[in-house]
Amino acid sequence: MKIINKHTWNRRSHFEFFNTFVDPFFSVSFKVDVTKAYQFSKVNNVSFFVTYLHATMKAINEVENFRYRINEANDVVVFDTIHAAPTILRPNKTFGFSFVNYEEDIFKFQANFLKEKERVFNTNGLFSTVNSMDCVHCSSLPWIDFTGHKEPFKGDKDSIPKLAFSKMKNLSSKKEMQVAISVNHALVDGYHVGLFNERLQFHLNCQ
């Protein structure tokens, strides 16, 4: 992790403007083709959720702006690695927050996810044992083929991107799903969301 020098940063004016907003987040949703990712999950006995979450984390880590965060001192820091913090649904239909360490190897990543899933299943609380900014918040809504999504806003200074994944839709020759993402405009612009979209589709195709 390192602190960005805001005096020489080419986004200084953007940061100073949007960082004054009560809610500086903007949100978009877009469609991705998950045909190959779904096939990979079935052939390799990997959860489909883990498969597309892993592709998501690869893409997140490849776009530098998604590794920026604003700390308590109002500094902009950039992390070397961003991890996943998905919600995990319990059998009783409540959920718990989790923290899944990112691994480039999908099978190691799945092992980390399964460990967190077991912890959540064996607790009743909401919160994760890890409270850190070097993550993205993720949730899955596999019951809804949404085309838009809004995340809750607590009101505190927040710079962690939030993602939601829709129900998979079966078409004649392929499978698709929607991805919604909310990002702090002080750190991320539409251009960077576009890069993320491209890298995500790339990794979904390469699983």
Residue 202: count other Cβ atoms within 10 Å of its Cβ: 13
Buried b (16+ CB within 10 A) or exposed e, 49-82: bbbbbbbbbbbbbbbebbbbbbeeeeebbebeeb
Q: 30-72: per-residue pLDDT in tens?
A: 999 999 999 999 999 999 999 999 999 999 999 999 999 999 9
Look at residue 157 in the predicted model and tell me its pLDDT. 83
Write the single-letter amino acid at 188: V
> What is the spatial distance between Cα 17 and Cα 159, in angstroms, rounded to a whole number?
15
Across the chain, which distance is largest between two alpha carbons, in Å? 53
> Which stretch of DSSP H or E encloses residue 25?
strand 25-33
Look at residue 186 in the predicted model and tell me its pLDDT. 97
pLDDT band at 204 (very low <50, low <70, confident <90, very high): very high
Q: 186-195: per-residue pLDDT in tens?
A: 999 999 999 9
Look at residue 119 in the predicted model and tell me its pLDDT. 97
168-174 average pLDDT score: 93
Q: 72-116: per-residue pLDDT in tens?
A: 999 999 999 999 999 999 999 999 999 999 999 999 999 999 999
pLDDT band at 172 (very low <50, low <70, confident <90, very high): confident
> What is the spatial distance between Cα 34 and Cα 181, in angstroms, rounded to a whole number?
17
Yes or no: domain 2-206 corresponds to CATH 3.40.1010.10: no
Mean of the per-residue pLDDT values for the chain? 96
Write the single-letter amino acid at 118: E
Q: Decide if pLDDT at 155 tops 80.
A: no
- Residues in a beta bridge with 176: 33, 169
pLDDT band at 197 (very low <50, low <70, confident <90, very high): very high
> For residue 124, what are the contacts with CB-CB under 8 A and spacing of at least 6?
94
Residue 112, CA atoms < 13 Å, CB-side half-sphere: 20
* 129 DSSP 8-state letter: S
Q: Decide if pLDDT at 164 tops 90.
A: yes
Closest CA to 51 of 31, 34, 63: 34
Q: Where are the domains of the chain?
A: 2-206
Q: How far is CA 1 from the centre of its chain?
A: 19
Helix (H, G, I), strand (E, B) or coil at 26: strand
* 128 DSSP 8-state letter: -
